[in-house]
A and B are shown apart, each in its own frame.
Chain A
């Protein structure tokens, strides 16, 4: 990124803060997103009903299920995986009405998987408060073979499907929940710039 220049599609994430007014609050988090939820509960609790859906990621990061269990006063539901959380979310969304405030925290791929589920019931991107937590790893969409490679840490990586060396751009698709990756050595095969870890 250069000074004075940015890609408009690159999402900017904030920190979760209870929103008022509201009819109800639904907090959805995975992995390190647990910290964002714990930070929420260090603020004054809202009066309206609260529900928290959390999936730990024991493999990649810390699992905050236990601490959340002793902190969250009501409505905590622990899921064993992100997939299970997304299933649970889908079955429960019908219980919510207009006026619900949505909060999502976790790795970027997770944020946008949740957005996909919320979008299916008409909740829009701008209506949801999001906090990126734990890792800057990017889901990247290969513009050549249309495959999404999860958790990319480097500026240049090999596509998980076609093997092309892809350069990770800041262009982001909200529909796909992924950044754009395009072949870095298409014009001069084998001429690959220095590969660095930029998304730890």
Chain B
């Protein structure tokens, strides 16, 4: 996979838990253009093991001098965000993938409702740059825990003016999805990014109100959860691999020198989908890509975030 070699040009502590990194190309060339809502996958070498985490690009798509990503520190995770916070400083060199967009604004929409929770604000920042440039009708609803956790609020107020609506949980301000979605004109699209419960509730509310699927957009990147070790048997390559508890199947295959396809590494895009040939236990799907019916059928799996509770899982690769 083609990668870009970048250097960290600036690091800003935005809130207690969020750091903002400015990335420029090591060779001084402009970076590739992207569209609002795009993300890149950052490679990190942590204790000899390669971690790759997706982060949304939050700078303006007009700016090809630098890319901007923000990372929320997640203590209960496998260490990618902690590495970004503790090890990556100005001058650090990183490898990132070319931008990919799984969360683009709809060109058919007449109105856009953007709903962000916490660090889920990041993809909207590049989308808003696009919406402003195109003169589109939009509103941004941004919920966060407390005033000191409201990352980028000042910048957003400058970008959005009175189209920004903030909901501060510690002050008892709560978004009513029902209210937000009722009486919206035909041609409205809703976009959401944030904690799992928020995204699920918003999508369920919209469907319950008769909103068609084509008007609902969401993006969630999952980190591969930690689980029990198991063995994967790769039918085409004829090799068996142990997947340790703190590694994903995709990482285990890469560790073994294989190059399985991937794109987002967060269970969102579907690029790494593999066919399950046999499993002597249960599949544990953690992606946002397969439908419930496909998950139940049990013949496909996303090796980037999903696991199995079994002795041996046979994959068609």
| Residues of chain A having any CB pair with chain B under 8 Å | 19-23, 93-94, 96-101, 118, 121-124, 126-127
Bound-complex Cα distance A66 to B208 (A): 35
A98 and B214 within 8 A (CB): no
Tell me the nearest residue of chain B to A118, going by C-beta. Answer: B186
A122 and B188 within 8 A (CB): yes
Q: CB within 8 Å of A: which of B168-227?
A: 181-188, 207-215
A98 and B184 within 8 A (CB): yes
A98 and B208 within 8 A (CB): no
Tell me the nearest residue of chain B to A128, going by C-beta. Answer: B212
Cβ–Cβ < 8 Å partners of B183 in chain A: 97
Bound-complex Cα distance A104 to B111 (A): 24
Cβ–Cβ < 8 Å partners of B110 in chain A: 121-122
B108 and A99 within 8 A (CB): no
A121 and B186 within 8 A (CB): yes
Bound-complex Cα distance A99 to B210 (A): 4
CB distance from B217 to the nearest CB of A (A): 13
**Other-chain residue from A20, A93, A124 in contact with B108 (beta carbon distance below 8 A):** A124
The binding surface of chain A is classed by DSSP as loop
**Other-chain residue from A23, A121, A124 in contact with B210 (beta carbon distance below 8 A):** A23
| Interface range for B | 20 to 34
A127 and B215 within 8 A (CB): yes
Given contacts A97-B184, A97-B186, contact A124 B208 (CB under 8 A): no
Cβ–Cβ < 8 Å partners of B182 in chain A: 23, 97, 99
Tell me the nearest residue of chain A to B209, going by C-beta. Answer: A99
**Other-chain residue from B108, B186, B207, B208 in contact with A100 (beta carbon distance below 8 A):** B186
**Other-chain residue from A22, A97, A124 in contact with B214 (beta carbon distance below 8 A):** A124
Bound-complex Cα distance A17 to B185 (A): 24
Q: With A23-B209, A127-B212 given, can you name 8 additional A-B contacts, CB distance below 8 Å?
A: A21-B207, A21-B208, A21-B210, A22-B210, A98-B181, A99-B182, A122-B110, A126-B212
B214 and A100 within 8 A (CB): no
**Other-chain residue from B108, B184, B210, B215 in contact with A101 (beta carbon distance below 8 A):** B210
Tell me the nearest residue of chain A to B185, going by C-beta. Answer: A97
Bound-complex Cα distance A96 to B110 (A): 14
CB distance from B107 to the nearest CB of A (A): 11
Bound-complex Cα distance A52 to B185 (A): 20
5 contacts between A and B (CB under 8 A): A93-B186, A99-B210, A121-B110, A122-B110, A127-B212
Cβ–Cβ < 8 Å partners of A99 in chain B: 181-182, 209-211
Tell me the nearest residue of chain B to A20, going by C-beta. Answer: B210
CB distance from B310 to the nearest CB of A (A): 38
CB-defined interface of B211-250 with A at 8 Å, one 1/0 digit per residue? 1111100000000000000000000000000000000000
Cβ–Cβ < 8 Å partners of B108 in chain A: 122, 124
Bound-complex Cα distance A124 to B107 (A): 11
CB distance from A104 to the nearest CB of B (A): 15
Tell me the nearest residue of chain B to A99, going by C-beta. Answer: B210
**Other-chain residue from B181, B187, B207, B210 in contact with A123 (beta carbon distance below 8 A):** B187
Cβ–Cβ < 8 Å partners of B181 in chain A: 98-99
Bound-complex Cα distance A100 to B182 (A): 11
CB distance from A185 to the nearest CB of B (A): 40
Bound-complex Cα distance A126 to B212 (A): 8
Tell me the nearest residue of chain B to A97, going by C-beta. Answer: B183
Cβ–Cβ < 8 Å partners of B164 in chain A: none
B109 and A122 within 8 A (CB): yes
Tell me the nearest residue of chain A to B215, going by C-beta. Answer: A98
Select the residue from B109, B186, B211, B213 with max chain A CB neighbours within 10 A.
B186
Cβ–Cβ < 8 Å partners of B109 in chain A: 122
A96 and B186 within 8 A (CB): yes
Tell me the nearest residue of chain B to A95, going by C-beta. Answer: B186
CB distance from B110 to the nearest CB of A (A): 4
CB distance from A45 to the nearest CB of B (A): 16
Bound-complex Cα distance A116 to B103 (A): 27
CB distance from B12 to the nearest CB of A (A): 38
A98 and B185 within 8 A (CB): yes
Tell me the nearest residue of chain A to B186, going by C-beta. Answer: A121
Tell me the nearest residue of chain B to A127, going by C-beta. Answer: B212
Cβ–Cβ < 8 Å partners of B186 in chain A: 93, 96-98, 100, 118, 121-123
Cβ–Cβ < 8 Å partners of A97 in chain B: 182-186
B214 and A127 within 8 A (CB): yes
Q: Which 6 A-B residue pairs are closest in the complex by CB-CB distance?
A: A122-B187, A99-B210, A122-B110, A22-B210, A127-B212, A98-B184
